[in-house]
């Protein structure tokens, strides 16, 4: 199986000006998934096996449609390494270590 780290952001279009309820609902699904994640102002990073992460993205999109969004634009970045295991925390720690020197 392929371990990936993704950055995803969901933008419901035609759903009004305030999108916070939609973002919060997607974040609830991400939390419930049990996968490691980092929420930030421009999206959410999620880490896990390819199939599990992509199924989560699908569930989030489906939920936003169920909430009444007529269109959902999803931005997705995928980072996959096959030479060694890696995790979100390791990526951050390696940069922070360089900043300390």
Q: What angle do CA 68, 74, 76 make, to 5 degrees?
A: 155
CATH code: domain of residue 63: 3.30.70.930
Looking at residue 85, its pLDDT comes to 83
What does the H/E/C string look like for the chain? CCEEEEEEEEEEECCCCCCHHHHHHHHHHHHHHCCCEEEECCEEEEEEEHHHHHHHHHHHHHHHHHCCCCEEEEEEEEEECCCCCCCHHHHHHHHHHHHHC
Q: How many domains does the chain have?
A: 1
Q: pLDDT per residue over 8-62, tens digit each? A: 999 999 988 888 999 999 999 999 999 999 999 999 999 999 999 999 999 999 9
25 neighbors 64 (Cβ within 8 angstroms): yes
Query: Residue 94: which domain range?
Result: 3-100
pTM comes to: 0.89
């Amino acid at each position: 199986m392929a371990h990936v780290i993704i950055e995803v952001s969901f933008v419901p279009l035609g759903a009004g000006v305030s999108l916070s309820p939609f973002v919060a609902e997607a974040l609830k699904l991400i939390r419930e998934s049990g996968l490691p994640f980092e929420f930030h102002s421009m999206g959410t990073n999620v880490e896990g096996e390819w199939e599990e992460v992509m199924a989560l993205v699908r569930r989030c999109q489906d939920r936003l449609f169920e909430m009444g969004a007529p269109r959902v634009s999803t931005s997705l970045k995928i980072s996959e390494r096959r030479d060694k295991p890696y995790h979100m925390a390791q990526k951050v720690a390696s940069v922070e270590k360089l900043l300390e020197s």
